[in-house]
Structure 1
C-alpha cells in the first residue's frame, strides 16, 4: 500500500489552479478573470467596520441560515427578473465552487451522472469526481454554441441527474439563449437539475437575458452566481444560487454546519450595500472587451463572441510558446480551452495596451 492511502482515482492528479506568478516579474496579470478595479476606500472602510462588529461576537457561531445575507442577495437578484426572487429561493456558500460542490453532493453521487458540453469550465469534472458522480461530456459547435437537437439527444440517452451549463461559458464567453435552457430543462425533467452558472452574467451584452427569468417556469432550474467577478470580490469568496425552495432545503442536508463564517457574512453584506459602486466599472470593462475583440480580429485572429469579462482568441500552432513569450514580456494570460486558443481577461485600459503591445511583438516575431 502506497502512503498516504489516497483514493485510487485521485493518485497522480495535480490540484486545480491558474498559474500564480509574482507581480514584480509579471506585472500585467490577465489570467483569472478578476475585476481589475478594487473597492473604494469608503467601501473598504464599511467592510472593515462590519467585520469589526462581527468580531465582537466571534465566541458565538454564525447564523447558519445566513438569513440577512440571503435577503440582501434576493433583493439584488430581483433586479434581473420581473418575477422577483424570494429569500426562500436563495442559498449561499464560500464561492460558487462550494455552491456547485453542494449541488453535486445533494443531487449527484454514486450511480448518478453529471453532464456538460465542452469546452467548458474545467472544474466541473472535478466536482463530479470529488462526489463520486459519473461525468459525461458532450461537444459544442465550432462557434461554441449548442446544437440543441444533439444536446437533447445526449441528455435523453444519459439521463443525467445534473446538467451544468455556464452562461456566459468559461472559457469561450458564449451566452446561452433562453430556448436552450427551456429545451434542456424539459429534456431532463424532474429526475434531474439544470444548473445555469451565471458567474459572468453582469458583463453580458444588451439583450442577453438572465436565466433567472425562467425560474417560475422550471422547477428543476438552478441559477448560480458569484461576487468574485463583476462585484470585485474575488478575495471575499461568496457564491450563491436561486432555485425552487425545495432545492435549497435539500442542500441544507449536505452543507457543513455554520459553513459561512460571521466575518464572511458581514463582509458580503457590506459589499452589497456598495453594489452600485462595485458594479460601476462593468460598462467600462464591456467597452474594453468589445474593443479588444475588434482589435484581435483586425489582426486576423479568431475570436469567440463574448458576453463575459474575457476573450478567447487564437489560433496558434504552438499556443504555449505564445503564452510563454507574453509572460517574458510581463503579460500573463491563460492557456486554456481548445488546443491553439488562449484567453485574456479584460483589465484596465493601460493593462490592455500592454497586452496588445506584447502580443503584436510576439506575432511579429513568429512570422
Structure 2
C-alpha cells in the first residue's frame, strides 16, 4: 500500500502529521474545549425550521457574500460594526487559513508566542509561510515590552496573539495588543476563540477603529456550543475583508451553515446562558485541583492548564480508563482540562483524586 513517504509532497509537509485530538465515545469528553451543555430545545426547533426553509432552495448556490449572516454577526459584536467589516468561513481555522493565503505565503512569515494553538504552525506550513515561534515567559503571560521587542526583532508579515491563549488559558491584556500593533507593519490577528469566557476583559473589537491592520478572529464553536456547525468569523477593516474575498473558494459557506448560524445568533442570549455556569465550573475545578496540590494556571477560557503531574501520559491513560478524556499536549508535567457540566466536573475531580499519586514538583 502506498504511504505518504511514497508521494511527492512539498518539502515543508514531509514528516508532519494531521492535526487531531482523540475522538472516543467516552462518558466525559473534556479534551477539545467544547461547550458540553446541550442547546435549548426551543432554539433547536428554530434552527431546524430555518434549515428546512434553506433546504427548499439548495438547488441553487448559496449567497456567495452571505450578507444576512454578516449583518447578524455585526449586530452580535456591536461597536457599530457593519457587515462590510465581517467575514466568516467553516470554522475559525478556515478564516485564519484565508488570512495566510492573502497575506502570507512563500518568503513571508507568521509569528506567535508559544505554547499556543497548535494549528498556527500547521496553517503556516499549508500556505508555505515561515513559522516563527517565540517562547512565552514561565508564567505564560505576555508583556507589552516583550511582545513589542519580539515583533521589532523579527518584523513578521503576520502575528497572532491568542487571547485567552490555548492551551494555557492566559488572558491577553489590552496594552499588549496596542504595543504589538505599534511595533511592526504587518497584519496583527487577535484570536478570540474563547473571549466570551473572559468576564474581566472586553473584546479587542473595541480597538479596530484607526487600526486597519488589526483583525479579530472569533468562533461559534465554543461559547455558542456550535462546534459541529463549523462557523468562524472575523472583524476587520473593509479592505481586509476584500482581500479575503480574493482567496476564498466560490460559495464556501453552504446555505445550511448560513441558515443555522443566523438562527443561532437570533437566540444569542439563550445560546450563551451556559457561559456563566462554565465559568463557575472552571473555578470550582481550579479550587479542587489546587487543594489537591496541583498547579492551576490562571485562565480566561473554558479550560484549565494543570501542572504537577509526575507522568502526564500515565495520568491521561488512567483518566481515559475511567471514561474521561482530557488533553495531553506534551507540556512537561501538564494536562489541559475543559470545564464541563457540574456532573462532568464532579466525575473529573473524583477521578483525579483517585489517581493515588502525589503531584510532582512543577
Fold shared per TM-score above 0.5 = yes
Q: Deviations over 1:279-302 (max 9, x none)?
A: 011111111111111111111111
Residue 130 (1) aligns with residue 126 (2): yes
Matched, 1:27 2:27: yes
Large movers: runs of 4+ above 6 Å:
none
**Normalised TM-score (structure 2):** 0.95
- Give runs of aligned pairs for residues 5-84 of structure 1, distance below 5 A: 5-22=8-25, 26-78=26-78, 83-84=79-80
Matched residue SS, 1:229 = coil
| Equivalent position SS for 2:354 | helix
Q: Report the 3-state secondary structure (helix = DSSP H, G, I; strand = E; otherwise coil) of the residue aligned with 1:225.
A: strand
Corresponding residue to 1:355 among 345, 348, 356: 348
Match of 1:162 among 158, 162, 185: 158
Q: CA deviation at 1:156?
A: 1.2
The residue number in structure 1 matching 2:207 is: 214
CA-CA distance at 1:366 after TM superposition: 8.0
Residue equivalent to 1:198:
192
Counterparts of 2:309 and 2:279, CA distance in 1: 25
What does residue 176 of structure 2 align with? 180
For 2:221 and 2:178, locate their aligned partners in 1 and report how far apart those are by CA, in whole Å. Answer: 27
Structure 2, unaligned runs of 5 or more? none
1:320 pairs with one of 313, 323, 332: 313
1:168-217: per-residue Cα shift (whole Å, max 9, x none)? 0000111111100000000123xx11100000000002x31211111114
| Residue segments in structure 1 that go unaligned for 5+ positions in a row | none
Residues 298-321 of structure 1: CA distance to partner in whole angstroms, max 9, x if unpaired? 111111101110011012231101
Matched position secondary structure for 2:320: helix
CA contact (8 A) 2:309 2:359 kept: no
Q: Does 1:96 align with 2:92?
A: yes
Paired positions, count: 357
1:2 deviation in Å?
5.8
Query: What's the TM-score once normalised by structure 1's chain length?
Result: 0.94
Counterparts of residues 338-349 of structure 1 (less than 5 Å): 338-349=331-342
Q: Offset at 1:340?
A: 1.4
Deviations 1:21-45 (A, max 9, x none): 12xxx21111011111121222112
Q: CA contact under 8 A between 1:138 and 1:151: conserved in structure 2?
A: no
1:252 to 229, 245, 251: 245
Counterpart in the other structure of 2:7: 4
Whether the 8 Å contact between 1:171 and 1:337 is mirrored in structure 2 is: no
CA distance in structure 1 between the aligned counterparts of 2:154 and 2:63, rounded to whole angstroms: 39
Write the distance in 2 (CA, Å) between the matches of 1:85 and 1:315.
44
3-state SS of the aligned residue for 2:337? Answer: strand
Match of 1:270? 263
Q: C-alpha deviations, 1:60-96, integer Å up to 9, x for none?
A: 1111100000000000000xxxx42111110000000
**Secondary structure of the residue that 1:160 maps to in structure 2?**
coil
How much has 1:147 moved relative to structure 2? Answer: 3.3
Measured after TM superposition, the shift of residue 365 of structure 1 is 7.7
Q: Secondary structure at the match of 2:138?
A: coil
